[in-house]
């Protein structure tokens, strides 16, 4: 079945560490997105990519980085510059504009 796989489901980060969240899709979608979800704030866009080797900052890109070397993959790195990284991270994909398919999320906790 086609879909989006996010891994790991739970991730723990020490202060000052960089961590990378994986997002893989086999839907042949061109566009991919990363959202951050905090209680009471809805989903906020971190980065998005419309095509391979190209990506744009979303509303809260500071402290995050991404790459899009393959159509299927859009990993997100949470760097030590992100001062409050504890959150639920959701990856999504779409065929250009229109309907989004979401992964099941990664919960990141700073310890």
Partner 1 sequence: AQSVTQPDIHITVSEGASLELRCNYSYGATPYLFWYVQSPGQGLQLLLKYFSGDTLVQGIKGFEAEFKRSQSSFNLRKPSVHWSDAAEYFCAVQGTGFQKLVFGTGTRLLVSP
Rounded least distance, CB 45 to partner 1, Å: 6
Structure tokens that stand for 10 in this block: 């739970």
Residues 52-91 that bind partner 1 (CB under 8 A): 58, 88, 90
Residue in this structure with the two tokens 């790991």, named with its chain if needed? 8
27: contact with partner 1 by CB under 8 A: no
User: Which 8-state DSSP code applies to residue 85?
Assistant: -
Whole-number minimum distance, CB 50 to partner 1, in Å?
A: 6
Among 41, 62, 69, 109, binds partner 1 (CB under 8 A): 41
Cβ proximity of 30 and 50 under 8 Å: yes
Per DSSP, the three-state class of 41 is coil
């Amino acid at each position: 079945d086609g879909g989006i796989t996010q891994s790991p489901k739970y991730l723990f980060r020490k202060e000052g560490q960089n961590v990378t969240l994986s997002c893989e899709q086999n839907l042949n979608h061109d566009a991919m997105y990363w959202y951050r979800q905090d209680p009471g704030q809805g989903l906020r866009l971190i980065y998005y990519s419309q095509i391979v080797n190209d990506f744009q900052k979303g509303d809260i890109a500071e402290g995050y980085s991404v790459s899009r070397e393959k159509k299927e993959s859009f990993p997100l790195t949470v760097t030590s510059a992100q001062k409050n990284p504890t959150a639920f991270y959701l990856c999504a994909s779409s065929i250009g504009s229109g309907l989004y398919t979401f992964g099941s999320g990664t919960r990141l906790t700073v310890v």
